[in-house]
Structure 1
Amino acid sequence: MNSSVENFPRIIMRYLNSFDDFPNDFQNNYHTHLLCQRGHFNFSFNGTKMNCKNGEFLFWFAGSKLSDFKFSKDFNSSVLLVEKQFLNDNVPDQNLSIDAILHSRKYPVKHLNGKDDKDRILTNFQFLYSKYQDKEHRFYEEVLKLQMRLFILEMWHTFTNEYERKKRSVQSGTLYEKFMHLVQLHCLKERKVEFYANQLLISPKYLNFICKKNSDITASEWIQRFTKERVIFLLENKSLNISEIADEMDFSSRSFFTRYVKKILGVTPSEYRNRLG
């Protein structure tokens, strides 16, 4: 068992009414799952002001930059905290839900689809916490790890549903919104402006004009930004070797992938992984 698990409880579940109810330094040590059951609260997430209200679910990755918490007087929530290394060690195949996970890094507040979603989340909170407490079980570690994986898959189910709903709302938007939607869908394998221009039935030059007008960033820069996110995400998943990632991204060889990563990250894939430790 590594030192981070020894120093911190692996699973914490509690009711929360204010910031003081969070454990000390929870932002760095725990992935946070919170279901708002009454009231609302405001916070700043990576510099962006956000709000979470009754009936919404919130997920913060460990290490998120959080500040400016303000809770309504009637605020009440159920929160489940999972020690970051324990969760990371038990993640299923992340390729199952890569887009929804990356979406969650930017949009932590999830709009639930009625009572069934709320009941599912609370049930999975309780299942995981109960397995953590049942330390007399003969196969305690094995059962707890299996429950952790089931919990993650259930959370991905919630994340993906919310991500798909947002995608559908964007599909009828402007050309710029449609482009941003297409990039998120296809940038893992498609990294040329021409592909997206063809999908939108416009010229690459006009697509760049639209992007510059709306964001002051070219289409190729947006493609590279989204691709960079996915490269980092895949490299941090050590269950995949570098050749497998190159194949996943449709590079014809590992050497072409290495040159591409060096271009966008400034280091080779192996060097990046060595920095992770």
Structure 2
Amino acid sequence: MATFDKIDTTDIRQLTNSEFVDYADNDVVIIDDLRNFSKLQTIKLDFLLIIVVTSGRVAMKAGKVDSTASCNDIIICQPNTILNECLFSIDFTAKAVCLSAKVARKMLHISDVLDLSFYLKNKPIIHVDKPTMSTFEKYHTLLSEQLLKEDSKYKKQIVGYLVSSFLFCLLSIIEQTNPERTTMHISRSSVLFKQFVELLNSLEVKPRRVDYYSSRLCITTKYLSNICKENSGKTAYEWIVESAVEDINRLLSHSDMSIKEISNYLEFPNLSFFGRFVRAHLGCSPTEYRRRRDIKVEASQRGNQDKENTR
């Protein structure tokens, strides 16, 4: 058995280079045949991994929980999960959907999904009946079809809603088959982590100081960062920054506000500081980010127009 503190973290970008991946981008990976998954022995995931077992059996240790899955089982490994001691039967086949930690954490901003996250730490395998399994396989097929199509104006939205629908189907199944999850014991650190995420998500403008959130929760900044790391693999500051970057991306991409107005609205001390923050986390200046967005939109529109003209 591997020593946990010496295991390398595998993020979704590393997974995209695997030969058994059928589609991959920075946020979504689709795998139609997971028989070669044994090559991923002993890794720490930095993405959400959903495995749909279609035949055979697999035994593994997900985190510190020994799990065995067979046909019509769905395995859900959350970001920061360590996979270890994986054993596969000869007839094992499965499909998989992987979501980047960023996309997965967006889903975790929903209260019910936070409850699900704590539940899945101890019970990462869900058994479903054949009709439900057929439904999940259809989602997988739809996702594969959409992701393999050429880029279009609405491709990202289509994929996003398909993924959301797929995950809410999982929520529905767990709610029906495991009603006891709502009464299970949740540790104090997990409760505080949930409260932190809900507080962060509730704010229109997110203060970028950890002490703002720790004081609202009546705990120390060090304790808040520790419980965030324990429950999600990310520090409190990393959560805050990621949420702020999402807001910046949204405002730069989908609002008519000037860059100075966005900087003031998000309470940056000055425009220069805002520019450095955006460059550090989005890879370019706010002006360049908008310019690239406009070029991409124009290219997509020209492509759609060309398709219309050839019909």
TM range (shorter): 0.5 to 0.7
- The Cα shift of 1:110 comes to 0.8
How do residues 138-149 of structure 1 correspond to structure 2 at under 5 angstroms?
A: 138-149=153-164
Residues 154, 92 of structure 1: alpha-carbon distance in 2 compared, 3 angstrom cutoff = farther
Match of 2:190 in 1: 229
- Number of aligned residue pairs: give it: 207
Is structure 2 residue 88 aligned with structure 1 residue 65?
A: no
Q: Which runs of 5+ in 2 are unaligned?
A: 1-10, 17-24, 205-212, 229-234, 242-311
- The Cα shift of 1:48 comes to 2.7
- The Cα shift of 1:263 comes to 9.7
- More contact order relative to length (CA 8 Å, sep ≥ 6): 1
- The Cα shift of 1:27 comes to 4.5
- The Cα shift of 1:25 comes to 9.2
Residues 5, 15 of structure 1: alpha-carbon distance in 2 compared, 3 angstrom cutoff = closer
Aligned partner letter, 1:229: S
Work out which of the residue numbers 38, 58, 65 in structure 2 matches 1:41: 58
Aligned partner letter, 1:57: I
Is structure 2 residue 226 aligned with structure 1 residue 265?
A: no
Residues 160, 101 of structure 1: alpha-carbon distance in 2 compared, 3 angstrom cutoff = farther
Match of 2:246 in 1: none
- The Cα shift of 1:80 comes to 1.8
Match of 2:125 in 1: 109
Provide the rounded CA distance (Å) in 2 between the counterparts of 1:83 and 1:62.
8
Query: Which TM-score applies when normalising by structure 1?
Result: 0.61
Provide the rounded CA distance (Å) in 2 between the counterparts of 1:82 and 1:275.
18
Residues 26, 86 of structure 1: alpha-carbon distance in 2 compared, 3 angstrom cutoff = farther
- The Cα shift of 1:240 comes to 2.7
Provide the rounded CA distance (Å) in 2 between the counterparts of 1:45 and 1:275.
24
Match of 1:98 in 2: 114
Work out which of the residue numbers 231, 236, 239 in structure 1 matches 2:201: 239
Match of 2:148 in 1: 133
- The Cα shift of 1:256 comes to 8.0
Match of 1:217 in 2: none
Residues 227, 19 of structure 1: alpha-carbon distance in 2 compared, 3 angstrom cutoff = same
- Mapped contact 2:65–2:122 kept (Cα < 8 A): no
Query: Which TM-score applies when normalising by structure 2?
Result: 0.55
Work out which of the residue numbers 92, 97, 119 in structure 2 matches 1:80: 97
Aligned partner letter, 2:117: I
Secondary structure in structure 1 of the residue aligned to 2:98 = strand
Aligned partner letter, 1:232: F
- Mapped contact 2:52–2:73 kept (Cα < 8 A): yes
Which has the larger displacement, 94-103 or 30-39? 94-103
- Mapped contact 1:42–1:50 kept (Cα < 8 A): yes
Provide the rounded CA distance (Å) in 2 between the counterparts of 1:51 and 1:6.
27
| Per-residue Cα deviation, 1:4-35 (whole angstroms, up to 9, x for no partner) | 8877522322211243465x997524311111
| Per-residue Cα deviation, 1:97-153 (whole angstroms, up to 9, x for no partner) | 4333321122111121x1121112111222223222223333222222222322222
| Per-residue Cα deviation, 1:207-250 (whole angstroms, up to 9, x for no partner) | xxxxxxxxxxxxxxxxxx523213213424642339xxxxxxxx
Secondary structure in structure 2 of the residue aligned to 1:63 = coil
| Per-residue Cα deviation, 1:140-195 (whole angstroms, up to 9, x for no partner) | 2222222232222222223323332xx29xxxxxxxxxxxx7454xxxxxxxxxxx
Residues 41, 12 of structure 1: alpha-carbon distance in 2 compared, 3 angstrom cutoff = same
Provide the rounded CA distance (Å) in 2 between the counterparts of 1:35 and 1:97.
19
Residues 5, 57 of structure 1: alpha-carbon distance in 2 compared, 3 angstrom cutoff = closer
Residues 156, 129 of structure 1: alpha-carbon distance in 2 compared, 3 angstrom cutoff = farther
Residues 79, 269 of structure 1: alpha-carbon distance in 2 compared, 3 angstrom cutoff = closer
Residues 183, 39 of structure 1: alpha-carbon distance in 2 compared, 3 angstrom cutoff = closer
| Per-residue Cα deviation, 1:32-88 (whole angstroms, up to 9, x for no partner) | 111112111111122232211122111101220110011111111122222222333
